[in-house]
Amino acid sequence: MKFVELFGAPLLCSIFLFFISLMLWVFGFCGVVGNGGGYMIEWQFFYLCGVDWTFPIVVDHISVVFSCFVCLISGSVSLFSMSYMESEVFLRRFMLLIMAFVGSMNLLIYVPSLISVLLGWDGLGIVSFALVIYYQNKKSLAAGMLTMMINRVGDALLILSVCFLINWGEWSFGYGLFGGFGVMICCLVVLGGMTKSAQIPFSAWLPAAMAAPTPVSALVHSSTLVTAGVYLIIRFYSSLVESPEILWFLSKVGGLTLVMAGLSACFEVDLKKIIALSTLSQLGLMVFTVGIGYPVIAVFHLFTHALFKALLFLCVGSIIHSTSDTQDGRILGSVNQLLPFSGGCLVLSGVMLCGMPFLSGFYSKDLVLEGAFSCFGGSFEIFILVVGAGLSLVYSLRICLMGVFGQSFGGSLCLFVVESGYIIISICVLVVGATVGGWFLQLVWVAVNGFDLIGVLGKVIIGFVTLFGLVYILVGLLKVQKVSRSLLGELDWFLSSMWFMGLVSGSLISSVGLKGGLSAHSCLDLGWMEVLGGQGTFKVIGGGIRVFCTMQSGSLLSFFRIFLVLLGLFFVILPIAL
């Protein structure tokens, strides 16, 4: 009974989510992919002024597979939490927040109406704030406020787009929009999606959200919060096609985010922040892919990335939990000897992130590179993609070299803990999914869409780009420290600070908002608005009441004074009137 009382909530949530994931996978293959189409279910509440007030649900291969992966990863995270959060007193409250997070994401996935999307969109923002500040310290509160404020910007932009959609009398975003209002709506939706997916200049909140517990980070940075913005942009792609300048803007912003996050990850020492920056880099790659005109490939990469990134977070979380909350790469090391299972799975997930052939990351990354080489984009796009693909191998190798194969500079092994069975089972589920998921998804995507492939020369170039990051390990083996310091010593601070994105989208927004609110409180609420408002009115009314009380006091002297005042006014006003 004590086991059920302590761990019943995460265990039941995990079993439920695994069951839902299995049902969605079977339904997706048999009911949606097998028929080669989708379904649209719509409930009409009422009809007013020529507008249908409905609640639509779209069921196609994208929404079903995405929901399946969200439930699979959430089930693994719930099972992982049984060991990682075992000392948490309010474990049921934590699992309630996790289930609310999963429910909000599923509501966002299946609903094609911007009015209804706001329910899931706001739900993700509110629950993510509660999860980021879960540890209730100053660092968590600062990260939660930054996350909430940037997400509020996206909420405001989506509400504005809904206001402009009144001109069409329709709030579904699966149809093309035409005219000046259509371009404005597309701009608002794209900017709103950029805030959720942490694109430049809204990139500061994603590494700051690492203040949340590691199971939350595995869920947020793999398949839920950060992918919501990319998913919204992809769903809105049929309208974005009508505005080529917006797609051009997306390709440039995604490319810059890809390079910025990749370079920052190459200079970071915190393992969780390296993985967060790698997530930001992959989100930039997805946005870049949408911008060059391949939204289907972007969805494919989004799904495969969700699998191996959740695996990467759970492996790092297992290492952090087993080493007494140590996540500094300069201290960790020799994990392959102390934690062989977690260390081996960490290397496997890093290899998937690099795009090693025949693993899940290879299929989607190969298609992205093929699409970039076969499109009619400029040299800037190709250069950015080549650099970003090379950097993915560099920071993946840094994770493995620092955490797994490096020398340990930690303390005593007395505080060392071995992985529990729940951690091993949750990691094994994601290992299987991340290993064979890319191959299964390729079958689904080829059956539904099909792709244009390039020749042998393009394949050789793609293989060279994928393995270009091996230069890093050669430099590390040869101990050429003077070369690296002379080349990157001056840029180290700039590159490690995310190109000062923390000052642009972090400190700027938060400081302006907080200082502006304090100034408004002191100058308006406690200043002249009080003088002209509540306090001033109270003083005027109080003075008038005192005058009337004096007039009605019954004293002969008071009556004589009033008579003299009225007589004076009479002699002053009468000549003016005449």
pLDDT in tens, 374-412: 765 667 777 777 777 778 888 888 887 777 776 666 655
Q: How many Cα atoms occupy the beta-carbon half-sphere of 127 within 13 Å?
A: 24
pLDDT at 155 over 70: yes
8 A C-beta contact, residue 355 and residue 392: yes
Q: Which residues, listed in sequence order, are joined to residue 47 by a DSSP beta bridge?
A: 52
pLDDT tens for residues 246-264? 888 888 888 888 888 888 8
Whose structure tokens read 């020398």?
Answer: 407
Q: Which is nearest to 393 in space by CA: 338, 460, 505, 474?
A: 474
| More reliable by pLDDT, 242 or 414 | 242
| pLDDT band, very low/low/confident/very high, at 225 (cuts 50, 70, 90) | confident
CA atoms of 199 and 193, how far apart (whole Å): 9
Per DSSP, the three-state class of 42 is strand
Alpha-helical (H) ranges within 375-502 are: 379-403, 421-448, 456-466, 470-478, 481-488, 492-496, 501
What is the pLDDT averaged over residues 457-467? 59
Domain regions of the chain by residue span: 243-443+452-492, 497-532, 539-578
Q: Give the contacts of 385 (CB within 8 A, at least 6 positions apart).
A: 255, 258, 285, 288, 368, 369, 372, 465
* Single-letter amino acid code for the residue at 109: I
Contact 353, 361 (CB under 8 A): yes
CA distance 307 to 79: 16
Which amino acid, residue 319?
A: I
- Per-residue pLDDT tens over the stretch 23-80: 888 777 666 655 656 777 777 776 766 666 777 788 887 888 888 888 888 888 888 8
Three state DSSP letters for 99-160: HHHHHHHHHHHHCCEHHHHHHHHHHHHHHHHHHHCCCCCHHHHHHHHHHHHHHHHHHHHHHH
What average pLDDT is seen over the chain? 75
Q: How many CB atoms lie within 10 A of CB 237?
A: 20
